[in-house]
Every structure is written in C-alpha cells, then in structure tokens.
Structure 1
Amino acid sequence: MEQGFLDTGEIRMHVTEQGQGYPVVFCHGFPHTGFIWHRQLDAVAEAGFHAIAPDLRGYGRTEAPADVAAYTNAAVIGDLLALLDDIGAEKAIFVGLDFGAQLVWELSLRAPERVEALVVLNNPYAPRPPRPPSAFWTKAAQRHFLHLSYFQEPGVADVELAARPREFLSRVYFSLSGDYHYLDTWKNPPGLGYLDVLPQAPALPWTWLTEAEFDTLALEFERTGFTGGLNWYRNLDRNWELAEPFADARIEVPTYFLYGENDPDMEGFSGRDPLATLRANVTDLRAVVELPGAGHLVHLERTDAVNDFLIGALREIGVDRRTGS
C-alpha cells in the first residue's frame, strides 16, 4: 500500500492506495479511518483495480477544519472530486458504508457524470424526508438515549469519548456487530453518556478483528480525538437543507447493495421497509444481498463474502482494469 496526501483546494487529505487500473474509491464512516478498508484494498488491487481509501475530512491524517459547517456532504464530495482530478480520472466506482454510504448516494445525485457505479454496504438510499432529521431524533431522544441527539452539543461527546478512546472504540465496534443487538442501547433513559449505554466488549482478538487492526484504528483516535467525526453528525440538518434540489431525485447509476442481517441501521434507522424504498428509488439496482448473522461492520465480519460480492460487481460493471477506462 502507498500513503500520500493531496490538496483538495480546501483541506489536505490523506489517501491510502494500492494497485493499478480503474479507480475504486472506498468511503468510511464513524468512527473509522480509511484503514477500515484495508482488507478490501488488498482484494481489489489483486483483481486488477486501483483501490483508494481516503481518510475523510476530519478523520485520521486528513485535515480537520475547526468550523462545524465545513463537514457537509457537499464539502466532502468536493474532496472526492478533487481526488479524482488529482489521479486524472473522469469517473470512479465508489464504495460506501455508514456516513460513507450517505456520501456516495449524494455524490451520485450531485455529480453522476463522475460515478461509474456504486457498491453500498448496509445503509440503503431513501429520498429526502419532508422534515429535517432533528425533527425525528429529538422526539425519540425524549423517550430513550439516542446517540444522534447526544452527539449534537459540541464539546459533550467529544470530551467523554476522547477521555477513553480505546474503550469507546472496542465497545461501539462490538455493539454494532452481529454479536450484539445494538438497539438494546435504546432501553436506557435520556441524559446518559454513550459509554453508559454501550455493552462491555469481550477481550480482543475477536473472530473478525485482530488486536493489530484495532490498535491501528485506536492509535489514530488517541491522537486526534473524535470531534472531526462528530461534526458530521452536527451537519445532518444542514445536509437536509442543502439537498433540497434533489428532493425528488432518484439514483440512476448502476448500484449493488449488500447488508448484514443484524445491521442496526437496517433495523432501526432506515424506515419500515428499507429494501422496498431502495428498490423504488434506485433505477439501476443490480443486486441486493443479505449476509446472515452479520452486523454493521459487515466487511470485517464477513470479509470473504463481501470481497467476493465486490469483485463480482466490479467485473460485471465491465470497466477495463488495465487502462482504467
């Protein structure tokens, strides 16, 4: 793997890349860095593609602006387009999970001419709702703990999580996996901190995460804290406002969707029938696959199955791996 930096015009972004050929860009979520994709980079590069995993704005070794408003989807999409320009690519295939999934969905609306195809894990597309996201989570947070609400106040979650970064990461990764039912955190009353509601995690290594992998991720957050990632949550309403021109738009690029059977986003954050909504709003949906027993970090929990799905999609798309066109 090669490490490098590029100037997007607004920030300095750290990028990990491997292989040559048609570009495949991996977009992570919270609390991750581009390293979370390292197993997929190996597989995609070996299959003859140029695999690229940036640390997205506010994460890892990428610059973290102080202004909360600098973390909108529109701003981060600008970083991704600058990345394509930097490598001289007209288009790329984009892979997304968690916030990275929301990002690539919106990218395909804002700049479809730069998107060859999407491969999305766990976070299905849904059209812009009639009210801002806070209208939904504020009501729910009056009944039980909800991280979406808890993360909104600058400085609160930032201090709690930065004080115990390794404990937080192990507990949140475990809670989001197929080994735990994340929505049990909703059994806790409002007014608590995140570490008050997350389960204790078993000692590492786990069947799907090694100590070395965890250490790589934890060392970054021990150095940076979590404010950059939390600022993504603090822009959910702002993203809703900025997406008004696409309120009635549908996703028209070729799309492949894979999810874990036990993913909490599919169960609790994506509406009553997320797959029906996905199918109704993605016009070129080429595959929908469920992985039994897997949770939110599906690409780590079921690496071989996810890599097989990903490589199969790349080959079906039919881009020329040698020339990158």
Structure 2
Amino acid sequence: MSEWTHRFSRINGIDVHYVEQGSGPLVVLLHGFPHLWFSWRHQIGPIADAGFRVVAPDMRGMGRTSAPRDFRQYDVPSITGDLLGLLDHLGAEKAIFSGLDFGMFSAYDLAHLHPERVAALIGLQNPFINWTEKPPLTLAAEAGREHFHHIHYFSEPGVADRDLDAAPRRFLTKVFHTLSGAGDYLRTWDHPPGATYIDAMEEPPPLPWPWLTETELEFYVENYSASGFTGGLNWYRVGDLRWRQRKAFEGRKITVPYFFIGSENDIDLAVFHGRDPLERFGQFYADIRGVRVLEGVGHMMQMERPGAVNEVMLEFLDTLR
C-alpha cells in the first residue's frame, strides 16, 4: 500500500481519482458497481512488481471521481471518453485493460470503437456484451413484474437511491456476501415485486470473512456514504441508451488479443449471459488467447481468491511482453 500513489486529474470534463503503481507497459483495472479502485487492492502491487505500470481509477459516479446526476452522462461516448482521456493524460498510446462488471463492458466498448488504443483485454466474469432483441431495462421490467429483480429495482430513479443511501453498511455487507461464492443471488427472486434489494438478500455471516475484513468493508462504507449511490445506479439507468448506441457494432468481433478468467459460482456466467457462454467466445472475439475458470468462488473473484486470480493474470500478461 505504501507504494500506491493517489492522483486527481480533470479528464473528459470530470474530476477523476486513480491509484498508480509501477512502471512498464500500462495495465488499467476497471471496477464495476458497487466497487471502487480498492477492489483491485490485491492485484495492483503484484502486477506492478512484475514490471507493469498499473492504474486503477474510481469509475465515473463512484468513489472520489465526479458523479453527474443525469444518467445520460454515463452512456457509451461518455465512458469511452473517460478511458481515452485517461490514456491521453497518462501519456500512453494504448493499454492492456482488465475489468469486472460495468468496468469490463466499458473496455469492450473501447475495443470496438478504438482498438488502436487497446493492447489486449483480460475479462473477469463478464465474457461479452449481450446482444438482446429487447432493451435491457424492458427485459428487467418484465422480470420485475414476476418477482424481485435488482436491475429493475435499480432502474427506478429515487427508489434504490433512498434505500441504499439510508443503509450503506447493511447494503454493502449483504451484496458482497450475496455475490460471493458463499451467497446465492437467485434467492432474491423468491421475493415479490416491490421488495427492496436489502430485504431480498439473505443475512450474511458476521465479519471478518475469509476474504473481507471489517476495515476493508469500512473503506467502501466511507466512500459510498460520502458520494451516495446515485452515480453507480446511473450505470443501470442508462442501459437502454447504451443498448441503442451499441447497435453500431453489434455482430462485429473484437480484434485485439482477448483473455478471460471466470469462476464456477458466478451469477453472471450462470444466468445473465445466456446458455453456455464459455462456448460462444468465437462469436465475439477474433483473437482468443486464453480462457480459465476458477473453482469455489463467485462474482467477487479478485477479492475472494486473489492469489489464484493474480497467478492467471500474470501468466496472461507475460505472454504479451
């Protein structure tokens, strides 16, 4: 931690906070929701020690990066502009991008629109952008009429914001457990429409867990208590707009070198990417370099099994030297 350097810069019209360590080829680590740069705390040092310059930003709307209130400012051009602006600010022609959740989808967008700025991709958990016939919020609303559905709940302005801002510690503790290998997200679907996400999730065991301490949780609680959750929720609320914008490259394959690390207990791989997602990489990528699936962990893999994730990431990175 002593080697981490915190920086604040004006990029693409917003104030961006990022953490940097090391020198060498640039590796950018992109988090999702409800995460922060801190979700890469176990990866930054080992990757930097292996001879890379590592940068982990707080993504737009989260942590200490600006959080525009208008959800339309989280669309594909805005987020891609953030990443291009970050590369320019760092003086880098291109970078290796790795990410999880919304962070990885942002890297996929960048690889479609500006492949010349992407040296390679290392996807965690989220294998590709889904090409659906209906907009995602429409699909979520249809599911939300049958049972609780977190995307539909998040998409209604003011509802989730109020609930989560009132109980950040309770929400973060519950959602981190629910999405881990020890939790079961699908049990939230047993709850009726109108339930809150906090109420729909099971009670987690008391901290510390094998992969999360009280002090580490407090870092997330402190940041989201300060920023509120609206910025992160806007990533969901812009879903239909992004769906329309991505029509421009629907059906096109990403051409940069691609690696993937998944886990056997991840809800995204099990439910949200259709049947047999690992068998369909050829539909989305022209240059698949490696695919690995880790046992015994869930969606929070880079925190749940950091040693195993680091080993595979470093193996993949070494092939790119």
Q: Deviations over 1:213-269 (max 9, x none)?
A: 111111101111100000000011000111121012111111110111000011111
| Counterpart residue number, 2:271 | 268
- Asked if 1:244 is matched to 2:238, the reply is no
1:118 aligns with 2:84: no
- 1:213, 1:77 → 2: CA distance? 29
Letter in 1 for 2:47: V
Q: Is the 8 A contact 2:251 2:284 kept in 1?
A: no
Kindly indicate whether the alpha-carbon contact (under 8 Å) linking 1:127 and 1:281 is maintained by their aligned counterparts in 2: no
Q: CA deviation at 1:184?
A: 1.4
Q: Which amino acid aligns with 1:156?
A: V
User: In the TM superposition, what are the counterparts of 1:91-106 in structure 2 within 5 Å?
Assistant: 91-106=94-109
Alignment equivalent of 2:20, drawn from 12, 17, 28: 17
Q: What is the root-mean-square deviation in Å for CA atoms of aligned residues?
A: 1.1
Contact 2:105/2:129 (<8 A) preserved = no
- 1:60-139 paired onto structure 2 within 5 Å: 60-139=63-142
In the alignment, what sits opposite 2:237?
234
**Are the counterparts in 2 of residues 127 and 247 from structure 1 also a CA contact under 8 Å?**
no
Shift of the alpha carbon at 1:46?
0.8
**Alignment counterpart, residue 11 of structure 2, candidates 5, 8, 15:** 8
- 2:317 pairs with 1:314: yes
Give the conservation status (yes or no) of the 8 Å contact 1:122–1:263.
Answer: yes
Q: Which amino acid aligns with 1:184?
A: R
Q: Secondary structure at the match of 1:131?
A: coil
Report deviation, 1:71: 0.9
Q: Residue by residue, what CA displacement relative to the aligned partner does 1:265-303 show, whole Å, maximum 9, x if unpaired?
A: 111111112112223221111111111111000001110
**Alpha-carbon distance in 2 for matches of 1:86, 1:205:** 38
**How many residues align structurally?**
318
SS at match of 1:64: coil
2:267 equivalent to 1:282:
no
Q: Which amino acid aligns with 2:240?
A: D
Counterpart-to-counterpart distance in 1, 2:111 and 2:131: 14
For normalisation by structure 1, the TM-score amounts to 0.96
Relative contact order (C-alpha < 8 Å, sep 6+): which is higher?
1
Q: 1:81 to 1:190 in 2, by over 3 A?
A: same
Provide the residue aligned with 2:147 in structure 1.
144
Cα distance in 1, alignment partners of residues 141 and 92 from structure 2: 42
TM-score normalised by L of structure 2: 0.97
In structure 2, distance between residues paired with 1:125 and 1:228:
23
Could you tell which deviates more after superposition, 131-140 or 214-223?
A: 131-140
Secondary structure of the 2:127 match is coil
In the TM superposition, 1:216-235 aligns within 5 A as 216-235=219-238
CA distance in structure 2 between the aligned counterparts of 1:85 and 1:18, rounded to whole angstroms = 18
Question: Please, which runs of 5 or more residues in structure 2 have no aligned partner?
Answer: none
Give 1:321's aligned residue.
none
Could you tell me which amino acid in structure 1 is paired with residue 112 of structure 2? L
Q: Name the amino acid aligned to 1:316.
A: T
Q: Match of 1:183?
A: 186
CA contact (8 A) 1:126 1:278 kept: no
> Does structure 2 retain, via aligned residues, the 8 Å contact 1:126–1:277?
no
Q: Deviations over 1:34-66 (max 9, x none)?
A: 111111001111111111000010111101112
Query: 1:158 is matched with which residue?
Result: 161
Cα offset, 1:315, TM superposition: 0.7
Residue 54, structure 1, aligned to residue 32, structure 2 = no
Deviations 1:38-97 (A, max 9, x none): 110011111111110000101111011122210113211111111110111000000110
Cα distance in 2 for partners of 1:252, 1:96 equals 18
Hey, what's the Cα distance between the residues in 1 that align with 2:261 and 2:37?
19
Q: Secondary structure at the match of 2:157?
A: coil
Q: Report the residue type matching 1:158 in the other structure.
A: D
Q: Distance in 1 between matches of 2:40 and 2:181?
A: 18
Deviation of 1:127 after TM superposition, in Å, equals 5.0
Query: Does structure 2 conserve the Cα–Cα contact (< 8 Å) formed by 1:7 and 1:13?
Result: yes
Identity of aligned residues (%): 45
Greater displacement, 230-239 / 74-83: 74-83
Bigger shift: residues 125-134 or 16-25: 125-134
